Structure 1
């Protein structure tokens, strides 16, 4: 399920036109955690996109959560995010 979730998340985040996108499954670090027991995974997203230009951290994260959509209410229990604009990394 984990690699399928990564693939689905990658597809959805492509709507943000990333110039760079890395998704890491950190679920193994949270074994036994309540969300993990219910089947939700822990993931880290490192994304660089011009869409984030002029937006603060909260606005950037909202764009990512909106793109992820229903994945956030099922296969993804927790999402750690690093969202930058090109040249700021």
Structure 2
């Protein structure tokens, strides 16, 4: 199973999102470091809309996603961009 799929599965189970996109942006970071070729799953972007984020500030939302995905970060995920929103909030996607 790919890292992208594992992240999607975990987010779906934990937050029951209305909308979710997990995007592998690794190719955009090729060459940033000697071992980054752009071919691995090293940089991910999470766009998520979930009722679980209602009443949470931006920092709390980011922390909840980061803590859920801590095992992936510890295992080598280099960067994780998070765009969390509650239902009804404006999103650019």
Q: TM-score, normalised by structure 2?
A: 0.82
Unpaired segments of 5 or more residues in structure 2? none
- Aligned partners of 1:35 and 1:16: how far apart in 2? 36
Bigger relative contact order, structure 1 or 2, given CA contacts below 8 A and separation 6+? 1
- Aligned partners of 1:41 and 1:73: how far apart in 2? 12
Q: Which runs of 4+ in 1 moved over 6 A?
A: none
The structure-2 alpha-carbon separation of the partners of 1:86 and 1:41, relative to structure 1 and needing over 3 Å to count, comes to same
Q: Which residue of 2 aligns with 1:69?
A: 70
Aligned residues: 87
Q: TM-score, normalised by structure 1?
A: 0.85
Give the superposition deviation at 1:70. Answer: 0.5
User: If each structure's helix is expressed as a fraction of its own residues, which one has the higher value?
Assistant: 1
- Is the 2:3–2:41 contact (alpha carbons within 8 Å) kept by the matching residues of 1? no
State yes or no: 1:19 paired with 2:34: no
Give the superposition deviation at 1:69. Answer: 2.5
Q: Which residue of 2 aligns with 1:8?
A: 6
Greater radius of gyration (CA): 2
Unpaired segments of 5 or more residues in structure 1? none
The structure-2 alpha-carbon separation of the partners of 1:6 and 1:62, relative to structure 1 and needing over 3 Å to count, comes to same
**Two-structure CA RMSD over aligned residues (Å):** 2.1
Q: Which residue of 2 aligns with 1:28?
A: 27
